[in-house]
Amino acid sequence: MRALYFADIDRNEVERLHLGAELHDDVLGQMSLLSQSIESSNLKAVSAYEQSVLRIREIINGLRPAMLNFGLRPALETLVDELNERLPQGPKLELDLPEALIRYDSRVELYLFRVVQQACSNAVQHAACQHIRITGSLSETAVEVLVSDDGKGFAAAQGIDLPALLAGKHFGLAGMYERAALIGAEFNIQSRPGEGTRVSLNWSTFPSAAAGS
């Protein structure tokens, strides 16, 4: 069952890539043709078109993060910039990761990105926070990332129980845990009511060292 769940996550990522490509190549292409029939004097129609294209591009980037072609650090920077632009009323996101041109296996970069993306999404939707910080370090052999917020927090259980997460329909948390497990990364959540939430992610080319850290 665990192997099937892992395979389902990989299949889901492939489907995201295909859907992102279809939206980019087909839907945006059709939208471009549509724009030629919109009178420039029709400000309402022009505005609706521009907002629709912007939203489609945001969806495409969520499905297929283009900046991952340039590395994990640029992709996370773009994620923070886009969320800050989309959420002018807050919470405010901050990225504090040293500049790095280091590249990792494409699957590792994708899954590390997905975990951070989901952690930010959870904080935005549920934490009622004012600030979200992404901190950590990137080296040739290891990645350490911490996503912390100053929100309301929750009573986090000791250890992560995947069946309990799935039974409780915490699919976002379950997906984060499994994506981390797929690449041999250590994943942990610390939270208490009124004290915010900290999501830590540690990956290493030496899994035994990472697990013991």
Check whether 144 has a pLDDT greater than 60: yes
**Domain stop point among 64, 86, 113:** 64
Considering the domain architecture, whether residues 35 and 99 belong to the same structural domain is answered as: no
The pLDDT score that the predictor gives to residue 178 is 85
Q: Which domain holds residue 135?
A: 68-213
Considering the domain architecture, whether residues 78 and 60 belong to the same structural domain is answered as: no
| Contact indicator for 189, 198 with CB cutoff of 8 Å | yes
Considering the domain architecture, whether residues 165 and 74 belong to the same structural domain is answered as: yes
**Domain stop point among 64, 84, 113:** 64
Considering the domain architecture, whether residues 90 and 1 belong to the same structural domain is answered as: no
Confidence of residue 54 (pLDDT cuts 50, 70, 90): confident
Pick the closest to residue 99 from 73, 124, 79 (CA basis): 73
Considering the domain architecture, whether residues 162 and 60 belong to the same structural domain is answered as: no
Q: What are phi and psi of 200, to 5 degrees?
A: -110, 145
The pLDDT score that the predictor gives to residue 37 is 74
Give residues with Cβ within 8 angstroms of 161, minimum separation 6. none
Considering the domain architecture, whether residues 35 and 72 belong to the same structural domain is answered as: no
Order of strands, sheet of 186-191, starting from the edge strand that comes earlier in the sequence: 92-96, 131-138, 142-149, 197-204, 186-191
Backbone dihedral region of 120: left (phi > 0), alpha (psi from -120 to 50 degrees) or beta?
Answer: alpha
**Domain stop point among 43, 64, 85:** 64
CATH label of the domain that carries residue 114: 3.30.565.10
Considering the domain architecture, whether residues 155 and 198 belong to the same structural domain is answered as: yes
Considering the domain architecture, whether residues 57 and 74 belong to the same structural domain is answered as: no
Q: What mean pLDDT is reported for the chain?
A: 81
Q: How many CB atoms lie within 10 A of CB 157?
A: 11
Considering the domain architecture, whether residues 90 and 54 belong to the same structural domain is answered as: no
Considering the domain architecture, whether residues 187 and 103 belong to the same structural domain is answered as: yes
- Would you give the DSSP letter of residue 194? T
Considering the domain architecture, whether residues 46 and 78 belong to the same structural domain is answered as: no
| Contact indicator for 118, 134 with CB cutoff of 8 Å | no
Confidence of residue 31 (pLDDT cuts 50, 70, 90): confident
Considering the domain architecture, whether residues 87 and 164 belong to the same structural domain is answered as: yes
Check whether 55 has a pLDDT greater than 80: no
The total number of structural domains in the chain stands at 2
Lowest mean pLDDT among 24-33, 81-90, 116-125: 24-33
